[in-house]
Amino acid sequence: MVTVLSGLSQNSSGRRMPRVKSNKEPCAVWRGLFLFLLSCFPVAAQVAPIPTPTQLPGSPFAIRKNWIIGGTGSWDYLTVDPTAERLFIAHGRTVQVVDLASGSIAGQIGDFRNAHAIALDDTGQYGYISDGPADLIAVFDRITLAVEATIPIGCSPRSIAFEHRSRLLFAVCGSNVANPETQPLVRRPSGIASRPPRTTGQPPAAGNDEDNNFAGISHVVAVDTDKNTAVADIAIPGDFRFAQADGAGHVYVTVAEAERMEFSNGHTNRYLIPPRIAKFDGPTVAAEVQRLREHQANSNSPVSMDWVGDDGRGERAGFSTVPLPSNCRRPQGLAVDSKDFRLFAACNDQQLLILNATDGHVIATLTTGPGDDVTGYDPERELIYSANGAGYGSLTIIQQDANTDSYAVIQNLPTLARARTLAVDSSSGNVYLVTDYMGVDLSPRGGFAPIKTTPISGSFQVLVVGH
């Protein structure tokens, strides 16, 4: 099977082969490769040609607009509300709301410690914001932009996803073991019913003080959005990262490799938990929560679903995994094609994997760019986007042909440095990224102090990418 990369094709052995540019390729090119041919013939006529980076769909993508919206602090995920024509941006202590028709600020939400992600329900009424340092989820009215409730979940959520069939919100508190200095390991949500005593050789349950240093365990907290309360705490080995709902009852989460510590007979054993994609079935999780709650004394506390006894790859009620190749280190961005059961996972080695969502089979591997953080999918146009924020910044655009299950990079668009997160508006076909400008302090310094770059005040902006 041939996997098409940006400008090259790659066979199953990993060797790169010249690309067939058209069915009119000069015969001389093929004589050197196929000496047994007596004459040239149109090879490309036998199969449908896969688009190459020079065969753009209609017209090239470009940055059509720059909206300078200002604000302070770091930023994280973006979310588009296509019906209300609004863009929500988690930006430091606030969530900025941008009117997509004018590019102006329509309002802002909250006074958070650090907003991370925004999820929207299926009614058009409510939205949800994760505030990691505050260990909570905020519920806001999408019309008035007022915060109507806060839901404490006891751990530090970053990515969140709303699953409409079960009406559960899944909040991901990753272990972040790859960068332990940047964020403390997650704490177990408070108010959880106590567990039965663990058996010999089993690692400590992730709820006691000793467990705050138990590396390799993440928490996924399920929130009942009808009651605005946390109903389940799921502890699973691995570094859980980005969550994405597929609109068909499932939530997928990228899981980076993590080192797990197991305590047995006074010894600490360490082993690596491989990367994978976790899959939660919303209705099944809701049913399991209801079943467990019937046997719980305190019905107001979240039920505990602890799966720390293995490497987190075994199936549980409402939970399964899709394997990832071992060389897909620290996967982050994820997009889902629920119609064709395809997953688009970004690895940190500038590779995007196209996976069968059922069995994890790798269908294609494509090269993106450095710092690929967020992946987006436009089902209307069958386009996949990868925001690459490292270096100069770029947006990789990939064309999907669902009929032939083929994929090709059609454009690498230069953006700006640190434009690492994006949101796709399938109604208009536009893609939104955010970043700012960096300045250099050239004031005199003593000695050999390094030159430092700092964000330029008021330069935070939205990049609008389209045809």
CA distances from 366 to 8, 408, 431 (A): 10, 7, 20
How far is 77 from 251, CA to CA, in rounded Å?
17
Q: Which residues of 334-371 are buried (b: 16+ CB within 10 A; e: fewer)?
A: bbbbbeeebbbbbbbebbbbbbebeebebebbbbbbeb
Domains of the chain by residue range: 1-49, 53-466
Question: Residue 104 carries which side chain, given as an amino acid letter?
Answer: S
- What tokens were used for 170? 């899944």
Those residues whose C-beta lies under 8 Å from the C-beta of residue 27, and which sit 6 or more positions away, are 39, 40
How far is 355 from 384, CA to CA, in rounded Å?
13
DSSP string, 148-162: EEEEE-SS----EEE
- What tokens were used for 408? 């090709």
| φ, ψ for residue 30, nearest 5 deg | -85, -20
The CATH number assigned to the domain with range 53-466 reads: 2.130.10.10
Residue written as tokens 């505030």?
131
pLDDT score, position 201: 32
DSSP E strand boundaries for 175-228: 217-224
| φ, ψ for residue 282, nearest 5 deg | -55, -55
What's the length of the chain?
Answer: 467
Q: Are 75 and 90 in contact (CB under 8 A)?
A: yes
- Rounded to 10 degrees, the C-alpha dihedral 145/149/155/159 comes to -30
Q: Are 377 and 389 in contact (CB under 8 A)?
A: no
Those residues whose C-beta lies under 8 Å from the C-beta of residue 196, and which sit 6 or more positions away, are none
**262 burial via Cβ count (<10 Å: 0-12, 13-18, 19+):** middle
pLDDT score, position 57: 55
DSSP E strand boundaries for 164-238: 168-173, 217-224, 229-237
| φ, ψ for residue 210, nearest 5 deg | -65, -20
CA distances from 234 to 221, 283, 315 (A): 6, 15, 13
Identify which of 363, 329, 361 has the alpha carbon closest to the alpha carbon of residue 346: 329
**152 burial via Cβ count (<10 Å: 0-12, 13-18, 19+):** middle
Indicate the DSSP class of residue 342. Answer: E
pLDDT in tens, the chain (467 residues): 333 333 333 443 333 344 434 444 444 433 343 333 333 333 333 333 444 454 555 679 999 999 999 998 999 999 999 999 999 999 999 999 999 999 999 999 989 999 999 999 999 999 999 999 999 999 999 999 999 999 999 899 999 999 999 999 999 999 853 333 333 333 334 333 333 333 223 333 333 333 333 567 899 999 999 999 999 999 988 899 999 999 999 999 999 988 776 667 777 777 788 899 999 999 999 999 999 888 777 667 888 887 665 555 666 778 999 999 988 989 999 999 999 999 999 998 899 999 999 989 999 999 999 998 999 999 999 999 999 999 889 999 999 999 999 999 999 999 999 999 999 999 999 999 999 999 887 776 666 777 788 889 999 999 999 98
Strand order in 9-10's β-sheet? 3-4, 9-10, 16-17
pLDDT score, position 228: 97
pLDDT score, position 450: 77
- Rounded to 10 degrees, the C-alpha dihedral 87/91/93/97 comes to -20
Largest separation between any pair of C-alpha atoms in the chain? 82
The pTM assigned to this predicted structure is 0.80
Indicate the DSSP class of residue 46. Answer: G
CA distances from 15 to 31, 34, 351 (A): 20, 17, 16
How far is 134 from 156, CA to CA, in rounded Å?
7
- What tokens were used for 280? 């939660």
pLDDT score, position 8: 37
